[in-house]
Structure 1
Amino acid sequence: MKWHQALIDYKNYLRIERGLSENSITNYSLDIKKLQQWLNENTIDETPISISEDTIQQFIYHVAKLVNPASQSRIISGLRGFFNYLIFEEYRKTNPLELIESPKTARKLPDTLSEKEIDLLIRSIDLSTPQGERNRAIIETLYGCGLRVSEVINLKISDLFFEEGFIKVTGKGDKQRFVPIGNLTKKYINIYRKEIRNHQEIFPQAKDTLFLNRRGKGLTRAMIFTIVKNLTEIAGIKKTISPHTFRHSFATHLLENGANLRAIQQMLGHESITTTEIYTHLDKSHLTEVINRFHPRKD
């Protein structure tokens, strides 16, 4: 089996059997391509079936010189998954990464925006342009519903159940969930739909897509990142902010105001509660308040 064919088969497996998104499949593929490129550059003639643990170890040493521990750990994890797939398909008997340990990495939490900073960002939007009304609705949806950027750009008009107070979100692996939507977010989405979107010429493929660019097509991830970056600069906020910051802030603010961690897990679409706990970096004053309010020995 050649690398090219193995990669095609693996991508089909990730897409069909695992139900992963195209972004995830692309990331996994890049790890395998890096290994393949390194083999070619060093004229090492080993296939996915024959490659040895020693060769993999040499590649990992090479990678360690180029990337940080977190990236190194991700590449090791990606390759381990690929060779586990080959074992599953009975192409190999062993995984050459089985004894290779990932480097220890510190868990770095992203910046969180305060409620005042979010209000400042929204006030910084120029509402005199059609794009301004759209951008306000996007930011309110990111923060008000805790969505991933991919979930926002793929949100459909048919996913809006405003009378019931929910939106239907298609997350990782095409898994769907219903997320509550607040009145303020509904208000700004409705303003955008009625005053801006209804007056656009829309491409047939985007008829049901909620957020559109000025040409009537769906937005890209890069567009959302650019919108957030520009707003951050206008607002004069010095933190490192991305669309994901609003999702993180959504979870943190809910938790700080007493929301149940399991409920937050459901709204974020996390399979594991452990993943949700990443969002719970609370300051000590809040933890003290929890003890003072709820512990039976507080007095």
Structure 2
Amino acid sequence: MNWEHALKDYQHYLNIERGLSKNSIKSYVLDLEKLVHFLNSKNLTDSPIAISKGTVQRFIYELAQQVNPRSQARTISGLKSFFNYLIFEDYRQDNPMELIESPKVGRKLPDTLSETEINNLIGAIDLSKPEGERNRAILETLYGCGLRVSELLDLTLSDLYFEEDFIKVTGKGDKQRFVPISKINKKYIDIYRKEIRVHMPIQKGSEDILFLNRRGRKLTRAMIFTIIKQLAEKISLKKTISPHTFRHSFATHLLQNGADLRAIQQMLGHESITTTEVYMHIDRVHLGEVMQKYHPRKIDPEEQSPQ
């Protein structure tokens, strides 16, 4: 088995057996391609089946000189998964990554936007242009439903269950969930699809896609990033933001306003509650307010007793 063969088989496994998204599969493949590039640069001919612990350790050592601990930990995790796959398929008896420890990294908490900042970003959209209504509906949906950018791009007209106040979202691994949608969010999507989208020359294959570019095709991830970046520059927002910032803000604001963590988990489409907790960074002042409001011992019982 050579590396090209191994990469194809592994991608098939990740897609069919594990049901991972295209983006997740791409990340795993990039990890392996880094190792293959290292082998080629050193004129090493180690196959996936024969590569030794020593060779892998050399690769990780060089990698550590080039990338930050978080990227290093990601690559180590990806390689461990690949060699476990080879063991699972009886190509190898051992995992050469077994004794290699990932560097300790803290939890990375992305920037969150305040309600005012979100309103300012949406308010900066130029509604005199046809794409303005689309962009407003996009931002309202990212924030209003807490979607990943890939989930937003894949939304179809068939996914809109407005009479029931839900949209159907296809998340990682093609897993589907229903997410509540507000009246405000429905209003702006309806304006876009009934006043703008209906007049567009829609390309074959994109008839059911909700958000389209000017040529009538599905939008790209890069386009959503560009829209948000330009709006941030327009209002002189100093934070580094992305489509995911709206998802993080959605979860944070719900929690701050008293929403149940399990409900947020379901809306975000997280398999583990631990993943949801990573999003839930709340400042200490808010935590103190929660304690003072809800804890039964917030008042000294002796102070309450009659004199």
Asked if Structure 1 and Structure 2 have the same fold, meaning a TM-score greater than 0.5 normalized by the shorter chain, the answer is yes
After superposition, what is the alpha-carbon deviation per residue over 1:267-286, rounded to whole angstroms, capped at 9, x for unaligned? Answer: 00000000000111111121
SS of 1:204's equivalent in the other structure is coil
Alpha-carbon distance in 2 for matches of 1:106, 1:271: 21
Task: Compute the TM-score of the two structures, normalised by the length of structure 1.
Answer: 0.99
Question: For residues 10 and 247 of structure 2, what CA distance do their matches in structure 1 show?
Answer: 31
Corresponding position of 1:174: 174
Q: Indicate the residue corresponding to 1:159 in structure 2.
A: 159
Return 99-108 or 138-147, whichever deviates more. 99-108
Task: Name the CA distance, whole Å, in 2 between partners of 1:284 and 1:6.
Answer: 49
Q: Displacement of 1:163 after TM fit?
A: 0.5
Distance in 2 (CA, whole Å) between partners of 1:179 and 1:248 is: 16
The CA deviation at 1:26 is 1.1
Partner of 2:200: 200
Across the aligned residues of Structure 1 and Structure 2, the Cα RMSD in angstroms comes to 0.6
- Who is 2:256 aligned against? 256
What residue identity is the alignment partner of 1:224?
A: I
Asked if 1:183 corresponds to 2:183, the answer is yes
Q: Which amino acid aligns with 1:51?
A: I
User: Counterparts of 1:195 and 1:283 in 2: how far apart (Å)?
Assistant: 42
Deviation at 1:27, TM superposition (A): 1.0
C-alpha separation between the residues in 2 aligned to 1:272 and 1:266? 10
Give, in angstroms, the shift of residue 139 of structure 1.
Answer: 0.2
Q: In structure 2, how many angstroms separate the alpha carbons of the residues matched to 1:236 and 1:246? A: 17
Match of residue 124 from structure 2: 124
Corresponding residue for residue 61 of structure 1: 61
Correspondence 1:14 to 2:14: yes
CA distance in 1, matches of 2:213, 2:45: 48
Q: What secondary structure, in the 3-state scheme, does the structure 2 residue paired with 1:167 have?
A: strand
CA distance in 2 between partners of 1:259 and 1:293 (Å) = 15
Query: Residues of 1 paired with 2:30 and 2:234: CA distance?
Result: 35
Aligned to 1:74: 74
1:109 aligns to what?
109
**1:241-288: CA deviation from partner (whole Å, max 9, x where unpaired):** 000000000000000000000000000000000000011111112111
Q: Kindly state the Cα deviation for residue 40 of structure 1 after the two structures are TM-superposed.
A: 1.0
TM-score, L = length of structure 2:
0.97
Whole-angstrom distance in 2 between the partners of 1:217 and 1:167: 21
Which residue in 1 is equivalent to 2:34? Answer: 34
Distance 1:213 1:40 in 2: 41
Identity fraction in percent = 69
Displacement after TM superposition at 1:3 (Å) = 0.6
Q: Which has the larger radius of gyration?
A: 2
Shift of 1:182: 0.5
Deviation track 1:6-48 (CA, whole Å, cap 9, x = no partner) reads 1100000001111111111111111111101110110112100
Tell me which residue corresponds to 1:283: 283
Partner of 1:92: 92
Q: CA deviation at 1:103?
A: 0.5
1:146-186 deviation line (CA, Å, top 9, x unaligned): 00000000000000000000000000000000000001100
Determine the C-alpha separation between the residues in 2 that align with 1:187 and 1:30. Answer: 41
Cα displacement string for residues 92-119 of structure 1 (whole angstroms, at most 9, x for unaligned residues): 0110001100001121211000000000
Aligned to 1:293: 293
Q: Deviations over 1:226-247 (max 9, x none)?
A: 0010011001110010000000
Q: Output one character per residue of 1:78-101: Cα deviation in whole Å (capped at 9) or x when no partner.
A: 000000000000000110001100
Gaps of 5+ in 2: 300-307
- Alpha-carbon distance between aligned partners in 2 of 1:152 and 1:48, rounded to the nearest angstrom: 37
The 1-side partners of 2:114 and 2:272 are apart by 26
SS in 1 for 2:110: coil
Runs of 4 or more, structure 1, over 6 Å off, are none
Instruction: Give, as a single letter, the amino acid of the residue that structure 2 aligns with 1:293.
Output: K
Secondary structure, counterpart of 1:168 in structure 2: strand
**d(CA) in 2 for partners of 1:234 and 1:45?**
53
